[in-house]
Amino acid sequence: MQIDKLRGKALDQLFKSVLSLKDLEECYRFFDDLCTVNEIQSLSQRLEVARMLREGKTYHKIESETGASTATISRVKRCLNYGNDAYEMALERIKVDEAAK
């Protein structure tokens, strides 16, 4: 994993903080304090790109609907094809959770 080089106390603290959040409102508050608006938009855009790629949408459609660059779309696609399956895991959990509501 690419992130292995960053492993350590500080990153553990960040991830434990995220895992401690109890609901969407706490997430909004935490990420509002932690990140810039652009950083939050970039993260959410990548997840949306992953969802759309999973659905078989074209680069053109994804680019026009999300505003993501083709470089971002390519990077997300590379992660979907050769990464750790984390996008897939998260998107599937969201889908299951939404279906249960």
For residues 30 and 54, membership in a common domain is answered with no
For residues 43 and 92, membership in a common domain is answered with yes
DSSP character for 5?
Answer: G
For residues 57 and 17, membership in a common domain is answered with no
The whole-angstrom separation of Cα 57 and Cα 63 is 10
* Residue 99 binned pLDDT confidence (cut-offs 50, 70, 90): very high
Predicted pLDDT of residue 101: 78
pLDDT tens digits, one per residue of 21-79: 999 999 999 999 999 999 999 999 999 999 999 999 999 999 999 999 999 999 999 99
The residue written with tokens 């903080």 in the block is 17
For residues 44 and 63, membership in a common domain is answered with yes
For residues 54 and 92, membership in a common domain is answered with yes
Q: What is the pTM of this model?
A: 0.91
Predicted pLDDT of residue 9: 97
The contacts of residue 7 (CB under 8 Å, 6+ apart) are none
Q: Which long-range contacts (CB under 8 A, 24 or more apart) does 33-40 make?
A: none
